[in-house]
Amino acid sequence: MKKVIYTEHAPKAVGPYSQAIEIKDTLYISGQIPLDPVTNKIVEGGIKEQTIQVMENIRAVLKAAGYSFENVVKSTCLLNDMDNFAAMNEVYAKYYPENPPARAAYQVVKLPLGVLVEIETIAVK
Protein backbone atom coordinates (compact mmCIF):
# COMPACT_ATOMS: atom_id res chain seq x y z
CA MET A 1 0.00 0.00 0.00
CA LYS A 2 1.29 3.47 -0.81
CA LYS A 3 2.09 6.02 1.86
CA VAL A 4 1.83 9.76 1.20
CA ILE A 5 4.83 11.72 2.50
CA TYR A 6 4.43 15.34 3.57
CA THR A 7 6.69 17.79 5.37
CA GLU A 8 6.34 21.48 6.06
CA HIS A 9 10.09 21.77 5.45
CA ALA A 10 9.53 21.47 1.69
CA PRO A 11 7.15 23.41 -0.53
CA LYS A 12 3.51 22.40 -0.45
CA ALA A 13 2.17 20.80 -3.61
CA VAL A 14 0.75 23.42 -5.95
CA GLY A 15 -1.49 20.95 -7.73
CA PRO A 16 -3.08 17.50 -7.45
CA TYR A 17 0.07 15.63 -6.42
CA SER A 18 1.96 14.65 -3.27
CA GLN A 19 5.44 15.76 -2.25
CA ALA A 20 6.37 12.08 -2.30
CA ILE A 21 4.91 8.59 -2.29
CA GLU A 22 6.54 5.61 -0.60
CA ILE A 23 5.74 2.07 -1.62
CA LYS A 24 7.68 -1.11 -0.80
CA ASP A 25 10.77 0.72 0.53
CA THR A 26 10.91 2.96 -2.54
CA LEU A 27 10.36 6.70 -2.33
CA TYR A 28 9.21 8.68 -5.36
CA ILE A 29 9.74 12.41 -4.82
CA SER A 30 7.79 14.75 -7.07
CA GLY A 31 9.76 17.31 -9.04
CA GLN A 32 11.05 19.95 -6.67
CA ILE A 33 11.43 23.55 -7.74
CA PRO A 34 13.33 26.31 -5.92
CA LEU A 35 10.46 27.45 -3.74
CA ASP A 36 11.47 28.43 -0.23
CA PRO A 37 9.02 26.54 2.02
CA VAL A 38 9.05 29.35 4.59
CA THR A 39 8.29 32.27 2.27
CA ASN A 40 6.62 30.23 -0.49
CA LYS A 41 8.60 32.33 -2.99
CA ILE A 42 11.20 31.42 -5.60
CA VAL A 43 14.70 31.95 -4.18
CA GLU A 44 16.57 34.92 -5.57
CA GLY A 45 19.70 34.44 -7.62
CA GLY A 46 20.66 32.27 -10.54
CA ILE A 47 20.94 28.58 -11.30
CA LYS A 48 23.31 27.82 -8.40
CA GLU A 49 21.03 29.37 -5.77
CA GLN A 50 17.99 27.70 -7.31
CA THR A 51 19.71 24.29 -7.43
CA ILE A 52 20.72 24.59 -3.77
CA GLN A 53 17.09 25.26 -2.80
CA VAL A 54 15.86 22.35 -4.92
CA MET A 55 18.36 20.00 -3.30
CA GLU A 56 17.46 21.24 0.18
CA ASN A 57 13.79 20.65 -0.61
CA ILE A 58 14.68 17.11 -1.70
CA ARG A 59 16.70 16.65 1.52
CA ALA A 60 13.66 17.69 3.59
CA VAL A 61 11.37 15.19 1.85
CA LEU A 62 13.97 12.42 2.11
CA LYS A 63 14.38 13.12 5.83
CA ALA A 64 10.63 13.20 6.46
CA ALA A 65 10.37 9.72 4.97
CA GLY A 66 13.41 8.34 6.81
CA TYR A 67 15.77 8.39 3.82
CA SER A 68 18.94 10.30 2.93
CA PHE A 69 20.85 11.23 -0.21
CA GLU A 70 22.71 7.92 0.16
CA ASN A 71 19.40 6.15 -0.65
CA VAL A 72 18.86 8.04 -3.92
CA VAL A 73 19.12 5.76 -6.96
CA LYS A 74 17.79 8.00 -9.77
CA SER A 75 17.28 11.69 -10.45
CA THR A 76 15.82 13.54 -13.39
CA CYS A 77 16.95 17.13 -13.82
CA LEU A 78 14.89 19.51 -15.92
CA LEU A 79 16.55 22.74 -16.99
CA ASN A 80 15.13 25.70 -18.83
CA ASP A 81 18.49 26.07 -20.61
CA MET A 82 21.25 23.48 -21.04
CA ASP A 83 23.74 26.34 -20.79
CA ASN A 84 22.96 26.12 -17.04
CA PHE A 85 23.98 22.44 -16.89
CA ALA A 86 27.57 22.92 -15.68
CA ALA A 87 26.57 25.28 -12.87
CA MET A 88 23.66 23.04 -11.82
CA ASN A 89 25.96 20.02 -11.94
CA GLU A 90 28.54 21.74 -9.73
CA VAL A 91 25.95 22.22 -6.96
CA TYR A 92 24.30 18.82 -7.52
CA ALA A 93 27.64 17.01 -7.18
CA LYS A 94 28.13 18.35 -3.64
CA TYR A 95 25.08 16.39 -2.50
CA TYR A 96 26.47 13.13 -3.93
CA PRO A 97 30.21 13.12 -3.16
CA GLU A 98 30.40 9.32 -3.50
CA ASN A 99 28.38 6.80 -5.49
CA PRO A 100 26.06 9.29 -7.20
CA PRO A 101 22.71 8.03 -8.48
CA ALA A 102 21.78 7.38 -12.07
CA ARG A 103 20.58 10.56 -13.70
CA ALA A 104 19.06 12.13 -16.77
CA ALA A 105 19.05 15.82 -17.61
CA TYR A 106 16.85 17.56 -20.14
CA GLN A 107 16.25 21.04 -21.42
CA VAL A 108 12.56 21.84 -21.46
CA VAL A 109 10.62 24.70 -22.98
CA LYS A 110 9.17 26.00 -19.72
CA LEU A 111 9.13 25.09 -16.03
CA PRO A 112 6.52 25.98 -13.37
CA LEU A 113 6.62 29.58 -12.16
CA GLY A 114 9.42 30.36 -14.61
CA VAL A 115 12.11 28.62 -12.54
CA LEU A 116 15.46 27.56 -13.99
CA VAL A 117 15.55 23.99 -12.62
CA GLU A 118 13.30 21.19 -11.37
CA ILE A 119 14.56 17.82 -10.06
CA GLU A 120 12.60 14.64 -9.34
CA THR A 121 14.14 11.84 -7.32
CA ILE A 122 13.72 8.15 -6.52
CA ALA A 123 15.24 6.61 -3.39
CA VAL A 124 15.33 3.01 -2.15
CA LYS A 125 16.04 1.61 1.33
> What does the pLDDT look like over 74-89, one tens digit per residue?
999 999 999 999 999 9
Do 33 and 113 touch, CB atoms closer than 8 A?
Answer: yes
In order of start, what are the domains of the chain with their CATH numbers?
Answer: 3-124 (3.30.1330.40)
Residue 101 is given by DSSP the state P
Average pLDDT over residues 44-56: 97
Q: Give pLDDT, residue 35.
A: 97
Q: Give pLDDT, residue 91.
A: 98
Pairwise CA distance, residues 67 & 113, whole Å = 28
Q: Give pLDDT, residue 15.
A: 86
Provide the pLDDT confidence category of residue 13 given band limits of 50, 70 and 90.
confident
Average pLDDT, the chain: 97
Do 40 and 27 touch, CB atoms closer than 8 A?
Answer: no
